[in-house]
Structure 1
C-alpha cells in the first residue's frame, strides 16, 4: 500500500478533536465492524435460539479460517476462540498434568500473564523462573535457559508489549516441545497482523495466543489459541462446548473433542467474532496484507523518527528510542523512554492526542489510517511539551 486508507475508518476517524496515535493499544475499528455488530444483533433478534447455528456453523469457522491463513496453519481446526487470552491461558495451564508446573518466562510479559503467574506462585500452582529482558543478549539467555530441560511450560512473547522488542528467534523453541513436556506457548498479541508470522514449520509443536483487540482491528471478545494436536488433550478447566464433535476420553468419564475445541469454555457473546470476520475479510479484500501494512508503518515511523531527531517534536528528541529500526521485523509502535513519559501522555491527552505509556515508556502506534500529515500534526502537538 502506498497511501493511508482513511476511507475504511470514516466513523472512528470522524470523532472531532482527536488524533489517535495508539493503534498498538486500542486499534480503531473499521467501518465494516459496525455493520458486523448490527448483523450480530439482527441474527439474535431474527434467529433467536437458532442464532447459534449461524454463530457456530458459519461465523466461528470463518474466523478460524482467517487465523489459519494469516499464520500459515495446516488446518483451521487447531484454532479455538475465547472472550480473552486470560481464559485461554488458565485453560492451558490446567491441561498440564502435574503440580507445581515449572514455568520459564520473562519479566516483560503482559499483565494477563504477569498477575496470574504471580498468584499461581502464591498458591503453589507453579514454580516460576523469569529471564530479564532489558539485559544484553536476551535471545541467547532465554534460549539457553529453555534448553536446560528443567521446565514444563515455556511462555514468552513474540513482540514485547512495553519495549516493542521482536523476539524473532522464539520459533527455535519448537525443537524443545514435546506432548509430555515441555510445552512452548507464544504470546503473539503484538505480533498477530503486525509482524508477518508463518507458523507452518512449527504449528505441530507450539501454542500461540493472540486476538482481535489490536492489529486485527476487531476489538474485544475474539481472543484465540492455536493448539498443536496431541498437546493437552484434557484441560481440567473445561466448559460444555468442549463436548461438541467427536469425543475421546475414559469410559463413563468426561469426553473431549480431539481438535482445538478441547480448550473451549461455555456460552459467550459471539459479536466479537462477527467483527473479527468482518475486519479480516476487509483486509483480504482490500489487499492489505500484514507485510504491506508493515511497510506502510515502517515508512511513517522513519518519518516520525527523523522529525523527532530534528527537534520538531519538542522534548521527544531527548527520549531514548527503545526499539530503533533494525534489519529484522519491527513492532508496529515506537517506544520512547524518558522520565517525563507519564506527564507527556497526560499533556497530549489534553490536546486531543491519544498515545499511551508503560512506566517510563511512551508508545506511539501507527496503522493504515495514518499518513504523513498525521505525523506532522503529532509533532506539532509534542512541540509544546516540557
Structure 2
C-alpha cells in the first residue's frame, strides 16, 4: 500500500506537462477528452518515424508488435483469459456495425430483437434508431431515470425474447454505474442472446474484472477517455464462438488460420474475425505509450480512482458550502456512495448549458448533456484545481 499512498499524495502533473502548459485553461473534463500525457507524443512520433523508415514494412511492426502490445494492455486491465479476444478499430461505431452483421436472423424479413436503454451514447443510440426505422431491428428501451431501473432491466433481459442486449456499464450522462451488469452473462448463448456491455466510461475509470464472464459477453470501449490515448483506438472483446462469420468484413479478417465453408469466405477464430481494413495505426501507438506509462508509474485504475474520489468529495463539499456559487442549487445525480463511482460528477440544473458556456469564456473546460453539467477529474488535478474551479463558479449566475 505504500506505493499507492504515495501516488495519492499529489497530482501527477509532470506526466502532462505539454497539455497543462496551454495558457489560460483549466481543464475539468477528463471524462470527455482526457488530456494526453507527454508519453503519447513519443508514441505519435514513433508511428511517423516507422512510416518513414520502414515504409511498406511498417505494417510488420504495427500489426506484429504494436497491435499485440495494445491487446495485452486491454487484457491485463480487464483480466481477460487471452489478449487474442481483443480487436481494435478506429471507432466503436465501426465495431458495432460489424458485430450486428454477425447476428444470424431466422429469416431475412425478421428483425433482430434488441433490448437497450434510453441512456446509451450516440454511437449506439443513433444507429439503433436508424436500424429500427429501416425495420432491421425491433428496439425495446428501458428508462434509466427511474429508481428501479436495475431490476426492470434485468427482468426484461431474462424474458428470453431478445437476440441482442446492449447496455452501458457506466452511463455517459448521469454517471450511474450499473454494477450488476455482469449478471447478464448468465443469459448469453452463441445462438442468442448476445450481451454487449458499453465500457467506454468504465474502462480505466472503474476497476473491472471480466475473468468470470469473458467467455459470454462482448465488451466495447476505447482509448479516447480514461485510457488517455485519444481517438483511433476503439476495441472490442469478443468471446470465442459468438459471431464466427460477420457479414460486414474487411480483408484484415483473413489474416491467419482461416475457417469457413469450402470455397467460401474464411475467418480467423480469434477476435480478428471482426477486423476491418487498412487503418491509421498512430492511435494504437499512443494507446500503448499511455498504457505503458500508467503501468510504469504504478497508476493502476484503483490508484487513479482513489485520487479522483478524494477530489470529487472535496469538490462536492465545497459546492454544498456555497464556495462554487449557484452550483449548490444543482442536483447531484451520482453522489459518491459505497459502490463504484463514475470518474465525473453529473450536476443537473436548468442553467447547465449557460454555466458551461460562461465557464468556457473564463477558460474552464467542462461539458454538458442536456440539463446536466459534467465535471471530470483525473490524476492531473489537485486541491488547487478544485479551489480554482469553485472560484470561477462563484461568478456564475
TM-score normalised to the size of structure 1?
1.00
Corresponding residue to 1:156 among 159, 167, 176: 167
Runs of 4+ in 1 over 2 A off after TM superposition: none
The equivalent residue for 1:39 is 46
Corresponding residue to 2:15 among 8, 15, 18: 8
Question: What is the aligned length?
Answer: 386
1:216-255 to 2 correspondences below 5 Å: 216-255=227-266
Corresponding residue to 1:268 among 252, 255, 279: 279
Distance apart, 1:137 and its partner CA: 1.1
Matched, 1:280 2:270: no
* RMSD, aligned CA: 0.4
TM-score normalised to the size of structure 2?
0.97
The equivalent residue for 2:57 is 50
The equivalent residue for 2:69 is 62
Q: Deviations over 1:181-212 (max 9, x none)?
A: 00000000000000000000000000000000
Helix, strand or coil: the match of 1:302? helix
Matched, 1:200 2:207: no
For structure 1, the 5+ residue unaligned runs are none
Corresponding residue to 1:93 among 68, 80, 100: 100
Q: Distance in 1 between matches of 2:103 and 2:135?
A: 14
1:1-386 to 2 correspondences below 5 Å: 1-2=7-8, 3-98=10-105, 99-386=110-397
Distance apart, 1:323 and its partner CA: 0.3
Q: Deviations over 1:127-186 (max 9, x none)?
A: 000000001111100000000000000000000000000000000000000000000000
Q: Distance in 2 between matches of 1:344 and 1:326?
A: 26
Distance apart, 1:378 and its partner CA: 0.1
Q: Distance in 1 between matches of 2:150 and 2:355?
A: 32
Distance apart, 1:53 and its partner CA: 0.2
Q: Distance in 2 between matches of 1:234 and 1:170?
A: 27
Q: Distance in 2 between matches of 1:270 and 1:141?
A: 41
Helix, strand or coil: the match of 1:120? helix
Q: Distance in 1 between matches of 2:54 and 2:118?
A: 47
Q: Distance in 1 between matches of 2:320 and 2:147?
A: 25
Q: Distance in 1 between matches of 2:159 and 2:147?
A: 20
Q: Distance in 1 between matches of 2:102 and 2:338?
A: 38
Helix, strand or coil: the match of 1:168? coil
Distance apart, 1:272 and its partner CA: 0.1
Distance apart, 1:123 and its partner CA: 0.8
Q: Distance in 2 between matches of 1:90 and 1:195?
A: 26
Q: Distance in 2 between matches of 1:208 and 1:119?
A: 22
Helix, strand or coil: the match of 1:186? strand
